[in-house]
Structure formats: C-alpha cells, structure tokens
C-alpha cells in the first residue's frame, strides 16, 4: 500500500490546480441543475467561483515561487498519493452522476464528500510556503465560509438532519484547524462567527 512520500511543492501545486478545476466543473453543473430558487443557484455559483479563486491563488503562488525560488529552495512536502487517488476517483464518478441529474439532497451529499477531502488541508498548507499570513488567512476564510454557507443551505432547503450534522462538524473541524494555525490572530469564537455570520435556524412548521 503506497505511503506518504516527499514531492516538490511545484508538483503538488500542479495536482492541486487540476483537482480544483474538476471541483469547479462539478459545482458549475449544479448551477445549471438548480436554477431556482435564486439564492440556492447563487450558492452553487459561489461554490464554483471559490474553486476558481483557489485555482487562481495556487497559480499565483506558483508564479511567486518561480520568481523567488529562494522562498522554498529544495524544500519538499510530505504527500500521501492516496489522497489524490481517492479525490480524483470521487470527482470522476460525481461528474458523471451530475451530468445525468441529481436531487438536491444528493448534490449536498456530493459537495460534503468533496469538501471533506483531506486535500483541502494540503492546499491550505501549501499557501504557507510564501511565509505571508495573508495568503493562509484568506484561504482559511474562504474554506470555512464555503462550508458555513452549505450548512445554512442544507438547513433551509433540504432539512436533512444527518447532512446538517455533517456540515456543522466540518465547519467545526475547519474552525479548530484555523485556530491552531493562527492562534494569535483570532479566537475560536471569532472564527466561528465569521463562518456563519447570518445563519438563522429554519424549522419545519
């Protein structure tokens, strides 16, 4: 069974961009599938847009490292190829499924599977190689906000308690991670509030 191995940061960046593009394509399919109501369509559009932003950020990091290779030198990162194999396989299956049409609940299940991937952690870690906290903080803000919005959308439109628990657990996991990595910048409560600033409980009547 393959174990984690050392890879150059450039190689991991290239893989990250590839997978982010596929995630963007998946969310774009959901934009086309769920045209109404407008705020649900906007949510999927924002998910696709954020994946596009991740691609842009990673490409920008790659450009920075090409101009200033001394930032990383010969540094490599520990990388488990199984993470990529799993996510690439999931994306291939889900893209085929989405093209044939899926229910809203199924779309949320798929999105949670993708967002729960350990590869998101790899992406955030990569942004630290430029040694500028702005890159890392902005990446974590987007990642937490994506899942916080999804939790609200699940609560509002799907009203599936199991899915809602999964989304909330993922929010908490990312909040804890952000707090561990940047403890001097924000308290856990501050990060948690930023994740879901306008959430309101929606209950069936």
Which residue would you say has higher pLDDT here, 15 or 61?
Answer: 15
pLDDT exceeds 60 at position 91: yes
Answer whether residue 204 is part of any domain: no
Please report which confidence band the pLDDT of residue 76 belongs to, taking 50, 70 and 90 as the band edges: low
Answer whether residue 205 is part of any domain: no
113-137 pLDDT per residue, tens: 998 887 777 776 666 665 666 666 6
Answer whether residue 200 is part of any domain: no
Task: Please provide residue 7's backbone torsions phi and psi, each rounded to the nearest 5 degrees.
Answer: -130, 155
138-192 pLDDT per residue, tens: 666 666 667 888 999 999 999 899 999 999 998 888 788 767 655 444 444 444 4
Answer whether residue 11 is part of any domain: yes
pLDDT at 1: 46
Please report which confidence band the pLDDT of residue 201 belongs to, taking 50, 70 and 90 as the band edges: very low
CA dihedral in degrees (195, 118, 155, 50; nearest 10)? 60
Helix and strand numbers (H, E) in the chain are 8, 2
Sign, CA torsion 139/195/169/89? negative
Q: Determine the Cα–Cα distance for residues 15 and 13; give it in Å rounded to an integer.
A: 5
pLDDT at 44: 96
Answer whether residue 127 is part of any domain: yes
Return the bridge partners of 33, or none.
none
**3-class SS of residue 31:** helix
pLDDT exceeds 70 at position 101: yes
pLDDT exceeds 70 at position 198: no
Count of domains for the chain:
1
Answer whether residue 202 is part of any domain: no
Host domain of residue 42 = 5-195
- What is the overall mean pLDDT for the chain? 78
Instruction: Tell me the average pLDDT across 76-91.
Output: 82
Please report which confidence band the pLDDT of residue 6 belongs to, taking 50, 70 and 90 as the band edges: low
pLDDT exceeds 90 at position 94: yes
Answer whether residue 14 is part of any domain: yes
Answer whether residue 203 is part of any domain: no
10-22 pLDDT per residue, tens: 778 888 889 989 9
Least confident of 39-43, 47-51, 77-81, 106-110: 77-81
The count of C-alpha atoms lying within 13 angstroms of the C-alpha of 102, restricted to the half-sphere facing its C-beta, is 20
Instruction: Tell me the average pLDDT across 87-92.
Output: 94
Q: Determine the Cα–Cα distance for residues 75 and 123; give it in Å rounded to an integer.
A: 16
């Amino acid at each position: 069974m393959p174990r984690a191995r050392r890879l150059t940061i450039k190689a991991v960046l290239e893989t990250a961009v590839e997978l982010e593009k596929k995630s963007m394509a998946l969310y774009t399919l959901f934009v086309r599938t769920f045209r109404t109501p407008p705020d649900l369509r906007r949510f999927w559009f924002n998910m696709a847009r954020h994946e596009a932003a991740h691609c842009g950020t990673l490409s920008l990091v790659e450009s920075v490292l090409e101009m200033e290779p001394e930032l990383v030198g010969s540094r490599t990162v520990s990388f488990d190829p199984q993470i990529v194999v799993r996510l690439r396989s999931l994306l291939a299956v889900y893209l085929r499924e989405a093209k044939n049409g899926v229910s809203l609940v199924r779309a949320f299940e798929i999105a949670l599977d993708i967002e729960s991937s350990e590869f998101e952690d790899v992406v955030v870690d990569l942004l630290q190689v430029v040694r500028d906290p702005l890159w890392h903080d902005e990446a974590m803000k987007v990642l937490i906000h994506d899942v916080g919005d999804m939790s609200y959308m699940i609560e509002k439109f799907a009203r599936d308690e199991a899915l809602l628990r999964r989304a909330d657990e993922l929010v908490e996991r990312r909040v804890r991670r952000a707090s561990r990595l940047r403890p001097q910048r924000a308290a856990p409560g501050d990060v948690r509030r930023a994740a879901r600033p306008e959430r309101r409980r929606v209950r069936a009547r």
